[in-house]
Structure 1
Amino acid sequence: MSKTIENNLSIYEKTIVNQDFGLCLDCNQPKTSFYWCQNCDTKRLQQDFNKWTSGNDFIDKLIQESQLKARNYKDVIEWIPYNNLRNMKYLAQGGFSVVYKAILLGGYLSGWDEEKQQWMRVNSELKDEDYENAKQENIKSPLNENEKYGTHVALKCLNNSSRINEDFLYEWKNYLDFVYSSRNRNTILIKLYGITQDPETLNFMIAMEYMTIGCLRSNLMIKKYNPSNKYINLCNVIQSLSVLHKCNLVHGDFHSGNLLLDSPELLLISDLGLSKPADKPLKSDDIYGVLPYIAPEVLRGEPYTKAADIYSFGIIMWEMSSGIPAFNNISQDFGLSLDICQGLRPEIDEVPNIFDDTEKQKIFEKIEVEYTELMKRCWDFNPNKRPTAEELYINFNEWYREVPKGMRIPGKK
């Protein structure tokens, strides 16, 4: 392979060049992942296109394109029959959606078994707790005793999406294209399993990876992060945001409720392109989001930009340090939005004295002073003075490397 061609390959394709997944037994071409041959598996998926439909041409095309482009199982989105879902339980409600926890019977597609010549699916044997939960009054589509295998998923039901707007779907498709293109560029994103539709309301629902610990906001109510975990989690988040921005996309609703945890060390970005009404045309001057995280220029009616995401990240930095939401003692109303536009920002405490070890405390104080200055730049009134996501990533990566392993706040896990 010539140097010129190799330089033009995506990071994922370079990984394929440098990693041997073996040859496909059917076509004798190199696989693009373990248990995945893009040449053969996309054709197998295409052969089943006539066996399902969402009833919406745009959604059908969106799902089909994800399957035709898939280089591994993580790229695949499926149409999920609603009757494959069990134990649907209400979790939370946002401005434009309702979130449920559910069991996806049979699990999600993970590759082709060349010996058995059939699709493989990731699932596990359901537990006694799942069958007990099925008896609760607030459970929809309860699990049956003869249903033994499945995987837990989060279901995001899009309000009023029976009349889903094509502008919304087109924008969401841009984010799905980003997920596809960046899946192997060190981004940490929520895995999407597929789309289904509630037969009663006709609202569309997105099935995605269920994060066992929940969101950052609820997690901070339980514990405060030690410095090492704070830096690595924010480093991972800003790295993913940096890739998003390089694709000329913005998140648009960046806050601690949209950062989900599967473990204390793994914080993932969710709700890409989903934090808007699904049934209305998008307008550049519409304001959506959680007030304390919205940049002042957006509150004044200016378009949402990458710099507005950075403002939100600065508020998240403050929240990670304080353990409480910004402006939690102030009414979330027009008065607060006016104060933010006039320069109100969260109060910054002095660096606490938390380590008995003098050397550790010295390192901690040095980093925290730099952290505070960078945080203040993130919420600068002038969007042009805010750092880029790439600059933030470089700083967090350096801080994490500077922190001695095991640096923990006494009394905290």
Structure 2
Amino acid sequence: MQNKSFIYYRKSEYGKCADCNEDNTQPAWCISCDPDKATRWTSGNKDIDDCMKSFQLRTWRYEDVIEWIPFDRLSVVEEIGKGGFGSVYRATWLDGIRRKVEKINNGNYKRAREASSIVALKTLPEGSLKELKIYGLTQNSKNRYFMVLQYADSGNLYKFLRTKFQEVNWKTKLKLLKDISYDLYQIHRAGYIHADFHSGNILQDKHLSTTLQSYITDLGLSKNTNENDSEGEIYGVMPYVAPEVLLGQKFTKAADIYSFGVIMSEISTGQRPFDGQNFDIKLAVKICKGLKPEFAPGTPD
């Protein structure tokens, strides 16, 4: 069966849809009926409704639905981070995140949610977070909108290396670098430059897995490669800023890759490059003259 530009198939093993009595298109999910039911809500803001419902109507699986979450279903909201492009909060979502559909007795499937879930809230519209799973949107009593998303339980890379460096072996370090490089590749592939790429904008998460996962976040300063007017603009955390940008040239993909090289050094040594020095014009001049971060002895080639 075809729906606009998408082709989907009904399978008897997925069970019957309770509304149309046809075979489901995914376990316990009918793409003809369930996305429409997911849109029967309102935030009170037509633009928010239209945007979210356009995503909901294209949802292929139960666990991927992005929801409107009433703010009173979030408890113990506390600020855990603040930057130039908004704040991040930790909260408990009383309804819990949707879990992957479970197969039960007789080959049937059961939808499930966690009893309650720790989630992160990101203020909108400042900046954005990439790759972390988005659960929905909410609005507080002051009419401020928040994105509700996966809570990265191991903090950012900068803090993680300060507290856990001695516990991290090279296998884990290389896994983190692989995650980070893949995220950066995806950003560049989409036609964007991050332009504020440093260890404070990389989150670590373990959650239910035993494997640590890294995510690049905070694209508030990102640039479309076709609309890049950043010449003469200098911002970011100095040790990660490419020399040509410090000299007034535009941010480029190559500048992001330079920042990635600095992050490689940081993962190698456990220290932010040039720690102990003032991040001032003197350091900028040294970087432009060729000062580079060092790697720890024993770092793999």
TM-score by length of 1: 0.58
Could you say if the C-alpha distance between residues 22 and 245 of structure 1 is closer, same or farther in structure 2, counting changes exceeding 3 Å?
Answer: farther
The answer on whether the counterparts of 1:24 and 1:37 sit within 8 Å (CA) in structure 2 is no
What amino acid is aligned across from residue 36 of structure 2 in structure 1? K
Structure 2: distance between partners of 1:21 and 1:297: 59
Residue 102 of structure 1, CA deviation: 0.7
Q: What are the residue-to-residue correspondences of 1:308-323 with 2, within 5 Å?
A: 308-323=255-270
Distance 1:37 1:255, change over 3 A: farther
- Residue-by-residue CA offset, 1:132-169 (whole Å, 9 max, x unaligned): xxxxxxxxxxxxxxxxxx211111224xx5xx7xxx7x
Alignment match of 2:114 (pick from 109, 116, 123): 123
What is residue 307 of structure 1 aligned with on the other side? Answer: 254
- Are 2:186 and 1:243 equivalent residues in the alignment? yes
**Aligned pairs for 1:50-89 within 5 A:** 51-53=41-43, 55=45, 57=47, 59-73=48-62, 75-89=64-78
**Which moved further from structure 2: 327-336 or 211-220?**
327-336
TM-superposition CA deviations, 1:173-208 (whole Å, max 9, x none): xx8xxx7xxxxxxxxx311112223323x4322211
Residues 270 and 85 of structure 1, relative CA distance in 2, 3 Å threshold: farther
SS across alignment from 1:37:
coil
Please give the alpha-carbon distance, in whole angstroms, between the structure 1 residues aligned to 2:184 and 2:218: 11
In structure 1, the partner of 2:153 is 212
Contact 1:74 1:191 (8 Å CA) reproduced: no
Does the aligned pair in 1 maintain the 2:183–2:216 contact within 8 Å?
no
Q: Contact conserved, 2:204 with 2:214, CA < 8 A, in 1? A: yes
Q: Which structure has greater helix proportion?
A: 1
| Cα distance in 1, alignment partners of residues 283 and 236 from structure 2 | 14
Shift of 1:56: 6.0
Please tell me whether the aligned partners of residues 54 and 196 of structure 1 are also in contact (alpha carbons under 8 angstroms). Answer: no
What letter matches 2:60 in structure 1? R
Distance in 2 of aligned mates of 1:45 and 1:205: 19
Contact 2:229 2:250 in 1 (8 A): no
* Per-residue deviation, residues 221-266 of structure 1 (Å, max 9, x unmatched): 1232211111122112222332332232333332222222223732
Q: Which residue does the alignment assign to 1:43?
A: 36
Hey, which of these two has a bigger chunk of strand by percent? 2
The letter for the 2-side match of 1:157 is T
Amino acid aligned to 2:37 = R
The aligned residue for residue 265 of structure 1 is 211
Distance of 1:320 and 1:344 partners within structure 2: 18
Say if 2:179 and 2:215, in contact at 8 Å, map to a contact too: no
Letter in 2 for 1:215: N
Q: Under a length normalisation based on structure 2, what TM-score does the superposition of the two structures give?
A: 0.77
Q: Report how far residue 81 of structure 1 moved.
A: 1.8
Larger CA deviation: 301-310 vs 90-99: 301-310
Given the alignment, which residue of 283, 294, 297 partners 1:347?
Answer: 294
Corresponding residue for residue 276 of structure 2: 329
Asked whether the 8 Å contact 1:190–1:268 carries over to 2, the reply is no
Higher RCO, Cα 8 Å, sep 6+ = 1
Q: Contact 2:16–2:24 at 8 Å: present in 1 too? A: no
Asked if structure 1 preserves the Cα contact closer than 8 Å seen for 2:196 and 2:237, the reply is yes
- Shift in alpha-carbon separation, 1:249–1:110, aligned structure 2, 3 A: farther
- Unpaired segments of 5 or more residues in structure 2? 105-109, 223-227
Question: Aligned-residue CA RMSD in angstroms?
Answer: 3.5
How many Å apart are 1:24 and its aligned residue?
4.8
Which residue identity is paired with 1:151? S
1:101 is aligned, of 90, 102, 108, to 90
Distance 1:350 1:195, change over 3 A: same
Distance 1:319 1:40, change over 3 A: same
1:374-413 → structure 2 map (5 Å cutoff): none
